[in-house]
Structures are given as structure tokens and as C-alpha cells.
Amino acid sequence: MRAYLLNEYGLPATHRLQSLEASSPSDHEVLIANEAIGLNYPDLLMVQGKYQKRPEPPFIPGRDCAGTVLSVGARVDDFKPGDKVVAQTFSGAFAERVTAPVSRVFKRPDNVTSIDAAGAITVFNTAFVAVSIRAQVKAGDRVVVTGAAGGVGAAAIQLAQNIGAHVVAIVSSEEKAQLSRENGAEQAFVVTDRSEEGLKNFFKEHVRTAWGDNRGADVVIDTVGGDMFTAGLRCLGFAGKLVVVGFASGDIPSAKTNYLLYNNLSVMGAPLDIHFDEVLDQIRGGTNWWLKLLAEGKARANVSKVLPMEELMQGLQDINDRKVLGKIVVSVAQSG
């Protein structure tokens, strides 16, 4: 099989496709004939050795894949050869054959393509943790999503909208605002002044009052960090919740706890991987929910570009260079 085997960490351009022997699944694993690979910002960090968890080389990176089951381990009862699946592994997805832990493999509805499933799984599962598990968004809630045109932001809009929440998107261009509206945001604000003072004033004067009063938002889903996080606190109303998803700005912020106390606010993290270990049943339920939404046309994966496997690392470079609107997915043509 062909795969990207990392012998050492480095920029995307330093990694090449190699021919390797496919491994057999262990007792609790599933072997998948890969058809599509979803690319994510964490993959970019992983190949450079900048992700918070660093496997020791050599290893095959990659989180998201979708395809067909080839074989299963001796203790796997929920899958059989021929099943259409999508998987979210910690590593190993950048290959034609993927050996995945059964806990991270999910059955894929017939009318959800491998391209859409691979493009959606990390961002929709992350959004599910933020929107449903942590913030516990309900119908009628007022929700603000920062970085709303990114993968997780776009998924968060769609999940909150399907619950019945009223969503406001924060973006950096009109093109991204239009994408956010297409994903279900009722309003989209283009914020051009990213200074601390500019963001603080904009959120206080415009985002907090976006629903026609000064009661503020119930939930902020923040994917940006930095000054955007601090501004997000300004638009929360009584007992509001800010959910930290990531730090796309590269700046990890701190909260003034007296402000949280005075306004009765909560700040919480929404890490994805630990939820597989601690609340797998909830992750399975969430994955089945958003896959059903995709199958019914009530959500979309926002795949904007499909690349051949030979151009996978260029796709990661495009993510690094902020050239991507929507999701990049790699189509895997089996070489035998």
C-alpha cells in the first residue's frame, strides 16, 4: 500500500508517499480500505511535531478517513467486511489501508459519500462536544460562533441551528459571511478591526445586541482565542457560557475571574479526543446524529477541494497558508 510514513518531523513539503506493507487488525481493530482522507489543522501540527501529543517517528499521521471494511479483529462484533464506515483515528489515516480502533469507527449511511464523511468527522465531532456536551445548547438559545467559516465553526453553526438556536457568526470577510449564512447563521458580522479595543467595542455594541435587546448571548463558541476570546465574554448575558475550542489566532488568552464572577459567567474547554476515552457513548450518539443530518440534507460537509493522494501535503500547506475556505479532502485511489 501507499502511505505517508514520517521518519522525522518537518514541514509538509518534506514528506513523501512510500510503499509499505499493510498491517492486520488486532483483536479490537478494523482494517479499512481507505477511499477519502479529511485534512485538518491538527494534521498540519502533527507532521511538524507541534501537536500537543507527539508520537515518536516513524509513524503514519492522519486522523480522518472513510471507506469500506476489509477485515475485523477477533473481538469485533459490530462491523463486518463490506461495511461502509468513517473513522477518526489518532494517527494512521494518511494511507490506502487504515487500521483503526473499533471505538473510533462508525457506520456510514449509504447516501453519505466517503468524501463528505471524511471531511466532516473531526470538525462535526468537535462541534458536537462544544455545542451539545459542554454548552448544552437548546432550542431558542442565542449562540455566537467565532471563526465561523472554519471547519469547526461551520459545523457548530449547523448543529446549533438544527437544535433550534439563533446563531450569529463572526468572520473576517464577506465571502466567509456568505458561507456562514448558507450554513444556517441568522446574522454574520464581518469584523475588520482585530485590535483588543476594537473587538471589545464591536462585541459590546453590536454582537451583544444582535437579537434586538441588550440581554446578550447565552453561548459563545470560540475557535480563535486571543482578543476574540476576551471580546466574546463581553457579549454574554446572565449565566452565559463561553466554550473554548481552539486558538486559531495563535494567542492563548486568560480570563479575568472578577469579570466572570460579576456577570455569573462560565468558561469551559471542549477537547475532542478525551471524550472518546471518557464518554464514548455520547460521542457515538453525536456522530450518528450528524451523519443522519448529512444523509437528510440538513447539514453539509462544506468540502471545497478534493485532491489526489500525491497532493496531500500540498493540501496541508494550503491550510497553513490560510488558502482554504471550507474543507480539503484527499481522494484515495487504491494502488493494490
Residue 31, φ and ψ in degrees, nearest 5: -95, 125
Distance CA 14, CA 62 (A): 16
Provide CATH 3.40.50.720 ranges for the chain. 136-269
Alpha-carbon gap, residue 146 to 235, rounded angstroms: 12
CB neighbour class for 48 (10 Å; exposed up to 12, middle 13-18, buried from 19): middle
Provide the CATH number for the domain formed by 2-121+299-331 in this structure: 3.90.180.10
Q: Give the pLDDT confidence of 20-47 residue by residue, as tens digits.
A: 998 899 999 999 999 999 999 899 999 9
- The DSSP annotation for 278-309 comes to H-HHHHHHHHHHHHHHHHTTSS---EEEEEEG
Which residues of the chain form CATH 3.90.180.10? 2-121+299-331
Q: What is the DSSP letter of 321?
A: T
Backbone angles phi, psi at 192, to 5 degrees: -100, -30
pLDDT digits (tens, 9 = 90+) for 159-183: 999 999 999 999 999 999 999 999 9
CA–CA gap between residue 38 and residue 195 (Å, rounded): 33
Nine-digit cell string for 274: 478525551
CATH topology of domain 136-269: Rossmann fold (3.40.50)
Q: Write out the three cell numbers for 241.
A: 457560557
pLDDT tens sequence for the chain (336 residues): 999 999 999 999 999 999 999 889 999 999 999 999 999 989 999 999 998 888 999 999 999 999 999 999 999 999 999 999 999 998 999 999 999 999 999 999 999 999 999 999 999 999 999 999 999 999 999 999 999 999 999 999 999 999 999 999 999 999 999 999 999 999 999 999 989 999 999 999 999 999 999 999 999 999 999 999 999 999 999 999 999 998 888 889 999 999 999 999 999 999 999 999 999 999 999 999 999 999 999 999 999 999 999 999 999 999 999 888 899 999 998 775
**C-alpha count within 13 angstroms, C-beta hemisphere, residue 291:** 26
